[in-house]
């Protein structure tokens, strides 16, 4: 899938992913490449600083806990030669003090583990827009039939009626709407909407699909359909 965001010269945006957990780094690399971006990965702070010099990334996804330097030290070193590169911190810490410390140190945004890949992509996209990435789309609205979802304002409506969704419901609906008429398995949905080590509990998908149906389809012709043994599909109401 080609992203609408590019460098001002039209070339792909560059993202540096820094995480010592190889499986997490690979998942992030795969998801970010799916957006059409050029991605490199570093597993140590020392390697991250060297790669930031050579690769000149447009954004950095940076784990705070690294085996050599911590993320704060990596950020200080990178900002000495790339003062404006936006940084999204990844961390298992979620206290207010740590959030303030990270942002005060120069990080631009903060995601706590476990996270959804969709959330990280949305945060990185937002950072790069603010940093001057060129957007080829006039807006960021997804429309399927009479259902509309605005990725920026996070507003959702059907036939003009606003629909209030939780953060997880929004991410699930966005994934369904990005793949209209395509049957998505529970495993695919778990991988894209929930965190990387969720444990494969498919019943959580069923639960959130039921939540969405109550808000999207209640009293209307249904858009969300179950394909028995295969998964779920969203399509315009017939």
- Sequence-distant (6+) residues with CB within 8 A of 69 are 44, 45, 46, 48, 49, 77
pLDDT tens figures, 29-64:
998 988 888 999 999 999 999 999 999 999 999 998
pLDDT tens figures, 179-196:
899 999 888 888 777 754
Q: Give the model's pLDDT for residue 92.
A: 74
Task: Select 141-234's CATH number: 3.40.50.300, 1.20.140.10, 1.20.1250.20, 1.10.10.10.
Answer: 1.10.10.10
pLDDT tens figures, 48-106:
999 999 999 999 999 988 899 888 889 889 989 988 888 898 877 665 566 556 555 66
pLDDT tens figures, 132-180:
665 555 457 889 999 999 988 889 999 999 999 988 889 899 999 988 9
- Which top CATH class is 5-135? alpha beta
Q: Give the model's pLDDT for residue 197.
A: 46
| Phi, psi at 212, each rounded to 5° | -65, -45
Task: State how far the Cα of 86 lies from the Cα of 4, in Å rounded to an integer.
Answer: 19
Q: Give the model's pLDDT for residue 191.
A: 76
> The tokens of 201 are what?
């509990």
Largest CA distance in the chain: 58
Contact between residue 177 and residue 192 where contact means Cβ atoms under 8 Å apart: no
Task: State how far the Cα of 62 lies from the Cα of 91, in Å rounded to an integer.
Answer: 9
Domain extents for the chain? 5-135, 141-234
**Closest of 113, 95, 76, 73 to residue 196, by C-alpha:** 113
* Of 15 and 192, more confident: 15
């Amino acid at each position: 899938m080609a992203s609408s965001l590019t460098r001002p010269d039209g070339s792909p945006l560059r993202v540096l992913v820094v995480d010592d957990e190889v499986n997490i780094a690979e998942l992030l690399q795969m998801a970010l490449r799916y957006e059409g971006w050029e991605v490199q990965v570093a597993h140590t702070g020392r390697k991250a600083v060297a790669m930031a010099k050579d690769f000149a990334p447009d954004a950095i996804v940076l784990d705070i806990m690294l085996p050599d330097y911590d993320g704060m030290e990596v950020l200080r070193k990178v900002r000495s030669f790339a003062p404006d590169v936006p940084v999204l911190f990844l961390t298992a810490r979620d206290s207010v003090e740590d959030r303030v410390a990270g942002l005060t140190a120069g990080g631009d945004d903060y995601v706590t583990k476990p996270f959804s890949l969709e959330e990280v992509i949305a945060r990185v996209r937002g950072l790069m827009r603010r940093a001057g990435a060129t957007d080829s789309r006039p807006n960021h609205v997804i429309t399927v039939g009479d259902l509309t979802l605005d990725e920026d304002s996070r507003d959702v409506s059907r036939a003009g009626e606003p629909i209030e969704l939780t953060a997880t419901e929004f991410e699930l609906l966005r994934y369904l709407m990005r793949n209209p008429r395509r049957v998505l398995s529970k495993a695919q949905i778990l991988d894209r909407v929930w965190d990387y080590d969720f444990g494969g509990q498919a019943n959580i998908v069923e639960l959130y699909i039921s939540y969405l149906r109550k808000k999207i389809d209640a009293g209307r012709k249904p858009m969300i359909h179950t394909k028995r043994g295969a998964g779920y599909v969203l399509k315009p109401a017939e």
